[in-house]
Structure 1
């Protein structure tokens, strides 16, 4: 993988060496085995290459092909190499001699602007065609790698990171107030509504599954992939679904174990990362390699507060996996002396923007540090698994049936679920009525109920009115106050939104660059996504049984204690409030001081923040965790706007 940059002057003016130096120097703080650049008459490409896979050791990027007049710079790992090379008639014995950038160039020559449709993997790349005086850019299907750009006055520049672009002439570092308004108005961990834009006014994003073409006619963008438009997959029997899924999922995991160094995994005791770990360990074992596992567990002084069906320490389930696969070497990470406040400045530097993933980022960073020290080149995870391989919540299923007015089916599924899990049917029906009846009301009534709720929202009311954030959030399905559920189809649409993919990739790409490995998620493989989003709902939930597909697929591979576990769920970061507690009074005072600063008063609802601080003087099991996250987000926002301030 790489960090890449480029500059294209459509007025055919030459590119100065000083401009090249500005971009490349800003990327020099990140791990790279090679740094190089290419200067043409009116364009420049740069690359700082991380050698991750065996074939990447042969890469020379940027690469210029004299015969075709094409120049490429790429941040890419292509996973369907065998399929592509076979289609070009290359003998299997020669596959290792071809780099991923060569494969991308061949695909571009054969399929033109449609080439990303045929490339599977994690990538962002740019190709300059000297004959056409045209730039072609692409980002992979699920947006695993970032691609930021600026475009004005006939100049198009791009980079894996935002800050290098701010060093260019005529590019302003002025903040994008609409982006900040959305960021503050969304009560979830989501950062943005419209991922075309960024926190900086002059910097934009190329969206996942999009291409961009820049030439004398300007900039044109096009979306090349939407799995929701693909036909449903139908097989004759349930076993056929399992067999087809097994083939796709195993390939998605195994192809991601290609590495020039150790392979690691962020491992919990659940179905997703557990399944990835078992398949990867089995694959690596064949060549005598180990799989380095990293698991977050609570701090030493953690005090249990969770209900019986939720556990903070998943070691009993992780140990069961290790028993079956001794080549998994696990380190348990307590992330002592770290919390959601202590690392703010560090994470702002890495992320280049305000962030909200405050409960998890400190232990993710701890795992990244350990993986880097172990020289891991690939760090696997199963982050997207709940949306693909282990999809299938009884509550989503029942809500979908209710929305389809299939009351008998909804009652039958809920009843079966109660029998399997030994839950009182009366309590279950009461819970479902309380949760879903308000959402089955007409939308105007829902809007009225939402306005009646008094949820803590950070955004300054004048700023919210200026950008009409309530309407924009509602249009995006991101309701400010009431707990909102989704049908299966609504959830699939939401899960595939560009803002979800871009949110994940910003964290993955930037932490990968910081620590010198690449984070890879087989559960977000394009092939896995297409399969999982196109099969019938009853392959996930049926007769009250949840997450059926992965449980059937992993029989005999994932230990039954993990595979068939329906009694408890793991909760990482269960101790995040307890970590804050000892110094909470100090943090509260810092927030109070910060909201009095003039640079933030136009963004933050000062009275709402002070009221939330008053209501949360101390922590208890009933503390509103969303409110605390919003308060920490407030200080993050203040530090971003004024790094030299509080």
Structure 2
């Protein structure tokens, strides 16, 4: 196996100078945080380059900063690539290239031969940098579903690029928070994947490209799930057969090089299906270590018939089918809210906004590292891929004039409302403009304001900062009305994960030394799922029909036929009740800081915590007011304090 790069960093002078020389040692030292390999760095014309190898160094030894050389490619470029190329074997054979070449060299060779078309030919999870000193041109790109982030700072001819913000800050860029990004995040708005939490920086979005030269830079999107080609096969069975081949290919590609894999295993469709394919790819004598979140002792299921909060029975059923799976049930009862958040801030320079779920992620990865796992599989993009529910079929069939199919499926829906109500609600209303829906729902109690429920930002700050206008201009619906198009729905999910997850996963990997990979994000698989029609996902009233057919015989029937939604961290009321007084006291300290009090509605959040009865009753909306609003606001405020050195924690 060739070495895999976890972090890349470059400092570039488009004028050919070496402005970066005084700070370069400091920059490379900043790359050594966390568990990974050595740092290799060196200078080339007009630039200083550095990489950090992924494979953690042996216990008892610190990461070393080693000087090395970087190859000039056949087109005159110098190339860094973080992540991995999945279809290496095909590309090496197709272009008659030397076996064993690094992914950076392979990327350069394919790019030199294919130009812009190389983006479609190369399948992987990567971030790439190409520096052309003779042209004084820099190209940056990320794969379409990439967990490899890329941060950029530019001031005139000076540019610093890195996988994480830390090395850019180490070059001398001031650590200042971008309030717009904080507001976007609190409003669950991912406008374009470019905005950073750091003022003066931006990021290359997943599926994006930037080209910098002395005159400025140009950015464009090379890939979006919206552009996936339409796929129409002759028989229903053909879709399942094609999906089976692609799923196996995806799991094989993401497990390549792993000898001791693990998986974050729930009771849901996505990770269970990934596990069913993964066991076939295990090295001889190995078991798949599975880590499942379970509620704390004393947990009482809330009155929510559409969810199940303890997924252990579903996981045990899968383990009974596959003795190669070794389950570990993670309670993490001793983890307090945000307990390891500051470690994540330090190594990743980024907040974990699903902090209310982070306790079991930390505990799972820590245990996986202790067991010697060298990979953690996930299934994050399954819902936007093979296990999509198909509910956009109703408005799609209305729009396309497929009346018979529409009326038939409306009639077979298990929605208890009268037929005419279902037809209007499921097929017509998704096409109604959001502003009209808001007028209709203005005084309806089941549509309360985001600022009274799930958003912890001050409403006056949201208006004054312009985030509400930005969100509306960007098509973001803070009321979460139904969407009339499967492609739009998928794009929202994929773009949101591309925007928010890469730095978090990279931070986890630096903390525990275990990489996380998602087979359901494998681009050929995701494009296939996005290109097939809604009737493969919704048929005879059965949602997720494609996944249920694929899963037959692969997972337990109790999983395949499950219509409820698994709710991880369903014990959040116990955890927040336990930490309530500490959180209120922290809010009181933060409230005294003018900078933080301008953004976060500490008065409302603290009052909600005080008045909360400690339960998760749907009618109280405590899941929104406490779990979502308090959970997201507090990690945001802590992150702002960490970056700007505010002594309020």
* Superposition TM-score, scaled by structure 1 size: 0.88
Residue aligning to 1:348: 345
Residue aligning to 1:71: 78
Where does 1:252-267 land on structure 2 (aligned, <5 Å)? Answer: 252-267=250-265
Residue aligning to 1:159: 162
Equivalent residues of 2:392, 2:534 under 8 A apart? no
- The answer on 1:577 being equivalent to 2:565 is no
Q: Select between 488-497 and 292-301 the one with higher mean Cα deviation.
A: 488-497
Residue aligning to 2:18: 14
Residue aligning to 2:64: none
Where does 1:142-541 land on structure 2 (aligned, <5 Å)? Answer: 142-169=145-172, 171-184=173-186, 186=187, 190=188, 192-284=190-282, 287-393=284-390, 395-401=391-397, 409-418=405-414, 425-426=416-417, 441=432, 443-449=434-440, 452=443, 453-455=448-450, 456=452, 457-481=455-479, 483-497=481-495, 499-541=496-538
User: 2:531 aligns to what SS in structure 1?
Assistant: coil
Residue aligning to 1:586: 582
User: 1:387 aligns to what SS in structure 2?
Assistant: coil
User: Matched residues in 1 for 2:222 and 2:72: separation?
Assistant: 26
Equivalent residues of 1:310, 1:571 under 8 A apart? yes
How far apart are 1:534 and its partner, in Å? 0.6
How far apart are 1:407 and its partner, in Å? 6.9
How far apart are 1:239 and its partner, in Å? 1.6
- The answer on 1:596 being equivalent to 2:599 is no
User: Matched residues in 1 for 2:425 and 2:227: separation?
Assistant: 34
Where does 1:85-96 land on structure 2 (aligned, <5 Å)? Answer: 85-89=92-96, 95=99
User: 1:3 aligns to what SS in structure 2?
Assistant: strand
User: 1:446 aligns to what SS in structure 2?
Assistant: helix
Relative to structure 1, the CA distance from residue 475 to residue 581 in structure 2 (aligned partners, 3 Å threshold; closer, same or farther) is same
Q: Give unmatched runs, 5+ long, in structure 1.
A: 53-59
Q: Give unmatched runs, 5+ long, in structure 2.
A: 57-66
User: Matched residues in 2 for 1:632 and 1:566: separation?
Assistant: 29
Equivalent residues of 2:574, 2:614 under 8 A apart? no
Q: Select between 34-43 and 299-308 the one with higher mean Cα deviation.
A: 299-308
Relative to structure 1, the CA distance from residue 592 to residue 428 in structure 2 (aligned partners, 3 Å threshold; closer, same or farther) is farther
Equivalent residues of 1:265, 1:277 under 8 A apart? yes
User: Matched residues in 1 for 2:169 and 2:6: separation?
Assistant: 20
- The answer on 1:26 being equivalent to 2:30 is yes
User: Number of aligned pairs?
Assistant: 622
Residue aligning to 2:60: none
Residue aligning to 2:130: 127
Q: Deviations over 1:29-56 (max 9, x none)?
A: 122233211212320110110139xxxx
Q: Deviations over 1:166-223 (max 9, x none)?
A: 1223x23222122222223x1xxx3643421211111110111122222333322232
Equivalent residues of 2:147, 2:502 under 8 A apart? yes
Relative to structure 1, the CA distance from residue 413 to residue 351 in structure 2 (aligned partners, 3 Å threshold; closer, same or farther) is farther
User: 1:2 aligns to what SS in structure 2?
Assistant: strand
Which of 65, 80, 83 is the matching residue for 2:87? Answer: 80
Residue aligning to 2:637: 638
User: 1:63 aligns to what SS in structure 2?
Assistant: coil
User: Matched residues in 1 for 2:568 and 2:214: separation?
Assistant: 51
* Superposition TM-score, scaled by structure 2 size: 0.88
User: 2:582 aligns to what SS in structure 1?
Assistant: helix
Alpha-carbon RMSD: 2.9
